[in-house]
Amino acid sequence: MLKTYHYNNLSREEIDELVIRNTDPNDAILETVISIVEEVKTNGDPSLRNFAAKFDQVEIDQLYLDESDIDLLAATISRDQQRALEIAFQNIHKFHSTQLRKERVVETMPGVKCWREVRPIEKVGLYIPGGSAVLPSTLLMLGVPARIAGCREIVVCSPPQKSGKINGFVAYCLKLLQIKRIYLVGGAQAVAAMAYGTESIPKVDKIFGPGNQFVTKAKSFIQGKTNVSIDMPAGPSEVLVIADKSANPAFVAADLLAQAEHGVDSQAVLVSTDIDLIQAVNDELAKQLAVLPRAELAQKAIENSYAILTEDLREAIQFSNVYAPEHLILETDNWQTITSLILNAGSVFLGHLTPESAGDYASGTNHTLPTSGYARSYSGVSVDSFVKKITFQHISAEGLEQIGSTVEILAELEGLHAHKNAVSIRKT
Distance CA 214, CA 126 (A): 16
pLDDT of residue 311: 97
Looking at the fold, whether 9 and 49 belong to one and the same domain comes out as: no
Residue 396 φ/ψ, nearest 5 degrees: -90, 180
Give the Cβ contact number of residue 26 at 10 Å: 8
In the predicted model, what is the mean pLDDT of the chain?
96
CATH number of the CATH domain containing 282: 3.40.50.1980
pLDDT of residue 22: 83
Distance CA 138, CA 85 (A): 11
Q: How many structural domains compose the chain?
A: 3
Four-residue CA torsion sign, 198, 54, 294, 77:
positive
368 three-class SS:
coil
∠ at Cα 84 (65, 234), nearest 5°? Answer: 65
Q: Which residues pair with 268 in a beta bridge?
A: 239
Looking at the fold, whether 76 and 208 belong to one and the same domain comes out as: yes
What's the predicted TM-score (pTM) here? 0.94
Give the Cβ contact number of residue 298 at 10 Å: 25
Has 360 been labeled as part of a binding site?
Answer: yes
**Average pLDDT for 14-38:** 94
**Average pLDDT for 194-201:** 98
Looking at the fold, whether 296 and 400 belong to one and the same domain comes out as: no
Looking at the fold, whether 161 and 227 belong to one and the same domain comes out as: yes
Distance CA 87, CA 363 (A): 9
377 in a domain, yes or no?
no
Q: Is the pLDDT of residue 217 over 80?
A: yes
Last residue of a domain, one of 340, 364, 388: 364
Looking at the fold, whether 124 and 90 belong to one and the same domain comes out as: yes
pLDDT of residue 132: 63
∠ at Cα 234 (350, 261), nearest 5°? Answer: 65
| Contact (CB, 8 A) for 402 and 112 | yes
Tell which residue, 207, 215, 218, 220, has the closest CA to residue 236.
Answer: 215
Last residue of a domain, one of 199, 231, 263: 231
Has 237 been labeled as part of a binding site?
Answer: yes
Tell which residue, 242, 235, 237, 234, has the closest CA to residue 328.
Answer: 242
284 in a domain, yes or no?
yes
CA distances from 283 to 2, 195, 247, 290, 312 (A): 10, 47, 14, 11, 23
Has 352 been labeled as part of a binding site?
Answer: no
108 in a domain, yes or no?
no
Looking at the fold, whether 400 and 358 belong to one and the same domain comes out as: no
List, for residues 80-114, the tens digit of each pLDDT value. Answer: 999 999 999 999 999 999 999 899 999 999 999 99
Has 127 been labeled as part of a binding site?
Answer: yes
Question: Does the active-site annotation cover 327?
Answer: yes
Q: Comparing 331 with 428, which gets the higher pLDDT?
A: 331
171 in a domain, yes or no?
yes
| Contact (CB, 8 A) for 239 and 259 | yes
Q: Is the pLDDT of residue 322 over 70?
A: yes
Has 394 been labeled as part of a binding site?
Answer: no
pLDDT of residue 145: 98
Looking at the fold, whether 218 and 245 belong to one and the same domain comes out as: no
**Catalytic member of 238, 261, 284, 327:** 327
Distance CA 117, CA 81 (A): 39
pLDDT of residue 25: 85
**Average pLDDT for 214-242:** 95
% the chain with pLDDT above 90: 95
Q: Which residues pair with 123 in a beta bridge?
A: 153
**Catalytic member of 39, 238, 326, 331:** 326
Looking at the fold, whether 256 and 270 belong to one and the same domain comes out as: yes
**Average pLDDT for 374-387:** 97
List, for residues 270-317, the tens digit of each pLDDT value. Answer: 999 999 999 999 999 999 999 999 999 999 999 999 999 999 999 999
Please, is 337 exposed, middle or buried when counting C-beta atoms within 10 Å of its C-beta (0-12, 13-18, 19+)?
A: exposed
Amino acid making up residue 256: L
pLDDT of residue 131: 67
Give me the helices (H) in 129-167, please: 136-149
Q: Is the pLDDT of residue 28 over 70?
A: yes
Q: Which helix (H) or strand (E) holds 166?
A: none
Distance CA 387, CA 383 (A): 7
List, for residues 108-150, the tens digit of each pLDDT value. Answer: 999 999 999 999 999 999 999 986 667 899 999 999 999 999 9
Has 282 been labeled as part of a binding site?
Answer: no
Pairing of strands 206-208, 229-230: parallel
| Contact (CB, 8 A) for 185 and 63 | yes
Q: Which helix (H) or strand (E) holds 230?
A: strand 229-230
372 in a domain, yes or no?
no
Distance CA 423, CA 400 (A): 8
Distance CA 105, CA 406 (A): 22
387 three-class SS:
strand
Looking at the fold, whether 162 and 50 belong to one and the same domain comes out as: yes
Give the Cβ contact number of residue 239 at 10 Å: 25
Looking at the fold, whether 59 and 170 belong to one and the same domain comes out as: yes
**Average pLDDT for 363-379:** 97
% the chain with pLDDT above 70: 99
CB proximity list for 315: less than 8 A, separation 6 or greater: 7, 8, 273
Band of the pLDDT at 255, cuts 50, 70, 90?
A: very high
| Contact (CB, 8 A) for 320 and 271 | yes
CB proximity list for 106: less than 8 A, separation 6 or greater: 113, 114, 115
**Average pLDDT for 360-387:** 97
107 in a domain, yes or no?
no
State the DSSP string of 296-315: HHHHHHHHT-EEEE-SSHHH
Has 414 been labeled as part of a binding site?
Answer: yes
Range of the domain at 215: 28-102+118-231
pLDDT of residue 91: 98
Looking at the fold, whether 151 and 177 belong to one and the same domain comes out as: yes
Has 417 been labeled as part of a binding site?
Answer: no
Q: Comparing 212 with 328, which gets the higher pLDDT?
A: 328
Looking at the fold, whether 67 and 171 belong to one and the same domain comes out as: yes
